[in-house]
Chain A
Amino acid sequence: MADFSGSDLTCLRGERLVFGGLSFSAKSGDAVMLRGRNGAGKSSLLRLMAGLVAPRSGDLRWNGENIAEDRTAHHARTHYLGHQDAIKPVLTVRDNLRLWGQLRGVRDLEPAIDRALTALQIHHLARVTGRYLSSGQKRRTALARVLIGHSDLWLLDEPTVGLDRESCAELAQLITEFRGRGGIVVYSTHIDLDVESPTILDLDDFAIPMVEWLAEQDELEDMAPTKRAASSQEAAQ
């Protein structure tokens, strides 16, 4: 039984405070859906979860262990799908997928690629080079990558972009199967993806004005260590 949680996460992008004081928790089989207006930090949160960016404060834990302590292990159990599909125009769909399987050390790679291609119904495109794919087909190829190799955590950033209605239903089906195997899925989407009872995390709830946050930081710094300890005791009482 795996457990993925984050506590008191703050994300700073450049000069802008994206969100603060965000906590979440997910267990094997859970799906977390990220909601929020544009710029609320859905992508930023997914990048934090992937370990691509370090949070300004707070930590992310997998089974109680901070993910920053063993990044390789976290990368091995995580599949991240970003905005970009990372498809090389001169390589075939199969060659594009092969690299990611090889990097994960997948055994019996070719059958695994075949299964992933079949699951996303792009098996007929296996020998087509990237430049001739439509944007929906590219997105499906990127999704096929997520199916190759074992993983416990899927981080999907707008997986439905470019997908038609049918493919969205297939994606929902794949997510359900993955949860059935004990996987955790965190995803952001603007359209309704038919995923069974996801936990909804609304990032708008964690937007805090920069001024407020800076004031809080200043307060912490201004306080002498003894005073800070005293105030935390007060808070505890």
Chain B
Amino acid sequence: MNGFLAILQRDLRLALRQGADSVMVVAFFIVTTTLFPFGVGPEVNILARIASGVIWVSALLAAMLSLERVFQADYEDGTLELLTLSPVSLELLILGKVLAHWLTTGLPLIIAAPLMAVMLNMDQDGFVTLMIAMLLGTPALSLIGAIGAALILGARRGGVLVSLLVLPLYIPVLIFGAGAVEAALLGISATAQLQIMAAILLLTLAAAPFATAHAVRQAME
């Protein structure tokens, strides 16, 4: 547990000192979302109709943007090698790194999402559900993304590769995330969708650290 806290603390400190990552992810999210009204046209009803989908797709892309850096810097400067060799289990350390990644990229997205919902004229009935769905969905995105980020270690043009690997795996989160908000907007209970999202989160929480650790060890060979 100390190892988990130690790596979490260090990654948060690194993110704080470098800063740019969180800001960039949120900025990307806002810019992407803003593009839609320009493309679709300023028809308020259409925007309200597509709002939840637009927010989720933008969030997915923004979350993916920062993935490449989860392990890349540590891989390049030899830190990852030493983490693999530390007496703390690599799975736990990876969980710490993923939590740090979520706190610095996922959490800001959740905070920015309602603002974008207002801009897209989403009915306010959907706001709470949107935030709960994102609270359940974004950690799963970070966990799944970590597997992709570890798999591309050592590959050239990893950024493109990681999107090809990870985006298809994001689809369930997108379907149920957007579905939950849709349901709330229609005045139906969104419990079923949210429960499935919680299930996805638990599943990835249990499986992703092991898959990621395996990929990291593979990269050390």
A95 adjacent to chain B (CB < 8 Å):
yes
B155 adjacent to chain A (CB < 8 Å):
no
Cα–Cα, bound, A36→B182 (Å) = 67
* A102 close to B3 (CB less than 8 A): yes
Cα–Cα, bound, A100→B10 (Å) = 11
The chain B residue sitting closest to A72, CB to CB, is B87
Cα–Cα, bound, A152→B89 (Å) = 20
Cα–Cα, bound, A186→B85 (Å) = 16
Q: Which of A50, A80, A105 contacts B87 (CB 8 A)?
A: A105
Q: Is the interface of B mostly helix, strand, loop or mixed?
A: helix
Q: How many A-B pairs fall under 8 Å by CB?
A: 70
A86 adjacent to chain B (CB < 8 Å):
yes
* A52 close to B77 (CB less than 8 A): no
* Shortest distance from the beta carbon of A69 to any chain B beta carbon, whole Å: 15
Cα–Cα, bound, A73→B89 (Å) = 11
B220 adjacent to chain A (CB < 8 Å):
yes
The chain B residue sitting closest to A95, CB to CB, is B13
* A53 close to B88 (CB less than 8 A): no
State which residues 53-99 of A face B: CB under 8 Å.
53, 72-73, 75-76, 78, 80, 82-88, 90-91, 95, 98-99
Contacts of A73 in B (CB 8 A): 87
Q: Which of B17, B77, B82, B221 contacts A100 (CB 8 A)?
A: B82
* A86 close to B78 (CB less than 8 A): yes
* A80 close to B82 (CB less than 8 A): yes
* B85 close to A51 (CB less than 8 A): yes
* B18 close to A84 (CB less than 8 A): no
* A103 close to B3 (CB less than 8 A): yes
B7 adjacent to chain A (CB < 8 Å):
yes
* A100 close to B84 (CB less than 8 A): no
B124 adjacent to chain A (CB < 8 Å):
no
Q: Which of B6, B81, B220 contacts A99 (CB 8 A)?
A: B6
Q: Which residues of A contact B (CB under 8 A)?
A: 50-53, 72-73, 75-76, 78, 80, 82-88, 90-91, 95, 98-100, 102-105
Q: Which residues of B contact A (CB under 8 A)?
A: 2-3, 5-7, 10, 13-14, 17-18, 77-79, 81-89, 93, 220-221
